[in-house]
C-alpha cells in the first residue's frame, strides 16, 4: 500500500503545515508530504515548504475571479499529478465547491478554531468571546459540502479566560492545533478512521490519544 501521499493547502503563515513537517521529522508521522499548494503568492508558508524540502506550487486564485471551479480544477491537477491520497486544509482560506469535495470523498481534512458545531466561519475566536462561552477549542474534521460541518475526527477543549482577546485565545488554540492535526493525519494514514454517517469511529488499539477535555 505504501505511505500516504499528503497534499497540504495553505494560504498564510503555515504554522499548521509546520506542525506536520515537525511531526514527520520527529518520527510521529509516517507520511509523504507530497506537495504544498498555496493560493497566495509570497505567503510565509512557501518558505516553510522550501526549508522542509516539500515541493510547493502557487495557484493564485485571483486571476480566476468568480470562477471558483476553474481555480479548483488547477489545484486538483496538481494534487492528481502528485498522486495525493489525503488533502489537508492547513489555514486554507478558501471555500471549496461540491465538485472539489467529490474528487476526494472523505479524504479532505480541515482544522477549525472552535468546538464545532459552535462558531463556524472565519471569525470563530472573536465569536466565542462575544458569546461569553467559557470553553472553546479546535476541531479536526472531514470536509463536506457544508461550512465547517463535516464529520468530526478530533476535538480539543481550550478554556476562555476573562481577559482573553481574539488574539490571545487564538494563540492558545493554535498550540493545540499543532498537536491534534498531525495526530488526525496519522490516524488517517494508519487506516484508523471509519466514517459512518456523521460519526467517525477511531481504532485506538496500540495508540494513545491525548485527552480532549
Known catalytic residues are 112
3-state SS class at 177: helix
Q: Which of 172, 195, 190 is nearest to 28 (CA)?
A: 190
Which residues are bridge partners to 129 per DSSP? none
Phi, psi of 39 (to 5 degrees): -95, 5
Rounded Cα distance between 25 and 53, Å, is: 12
DSSP element (H, E) containing 98: helix 98-103
Q: Which of 124, 117, 116, 97 is nearest to 108 (CA)?
A: 97
Residues 24/107, Cβ–Cβ less than 8 Å: no
Contacts of 197 (CB under 8 A, 6+ apart): 151
Half-sphere exposure of 166 (CA within 13 A, CB side): 8
Contacts of 32 (CB under 8 A, 6+ apart): 3, 4, 5, 6
Residues 110/180, Cβ–Cβ less than 8 Å: no
Amino acid at each position: 500500500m505504501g505511505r500516504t501521499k499528503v497534499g497540504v493547502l495553505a494560504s498564510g503563515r503555515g504554522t499548521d503545515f509546520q506542525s506536520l513537517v515537525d511531526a514527520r521529522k520527529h518520527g510521529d508521522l509516517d507520511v509523504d508530504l507530497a506537495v504544498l499548494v498555496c493560493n497566495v503568492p509570497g505567503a510565509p508558508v512557501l518558505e516553510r515548504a522550501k526549508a522542509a524540502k516539500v515541493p510547493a506550487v502557487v495557484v493564485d486564485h485571483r486571476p480566476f475571479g468568480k470562477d471558483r471551479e476553474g481555480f479548483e480544477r488547477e489545484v486538483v491537477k496538481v494534487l492528481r499529478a502528485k498522486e495525493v491520497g489525503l488533502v489537508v486544509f492547513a489555514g486554507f482560506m478558501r471555500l471549496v465547491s461540491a465538485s472539489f469535495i467529490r474528487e476526494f470523498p472523505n479524504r479532505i481534512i480541515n482544522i477549525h478554531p472552535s468546538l464545532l458545531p459552535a462558531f463556524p466561519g472565519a471569525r470563530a475566536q472573536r465569536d466565542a468571546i462575544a458569546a461569553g462561552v467559557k470553553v472553546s477549542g479546535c476541531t479536526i474534521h472531514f470536509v463536506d459540502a457544508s461550512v465547517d460541518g463535516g464529520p468530526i475526527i478530533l476535538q480539543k477543549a481550550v478554556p476562555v479566560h476573562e481577559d482573553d482577546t481574539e488574539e490571545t485565545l487564538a494563540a492558545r488554540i493554535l498550540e493545540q492545533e499543532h498537536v491534534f492535526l498531525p495526530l488526525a493525519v496519522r490516524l488517517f494514514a494508519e487506516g484508523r478512521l471509519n466514517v459512518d454517517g456523521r460519526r467517525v469511529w477511531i481504532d485506538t488499539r496500540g495508540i494513545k490519544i491525548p485527552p480532549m477535555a
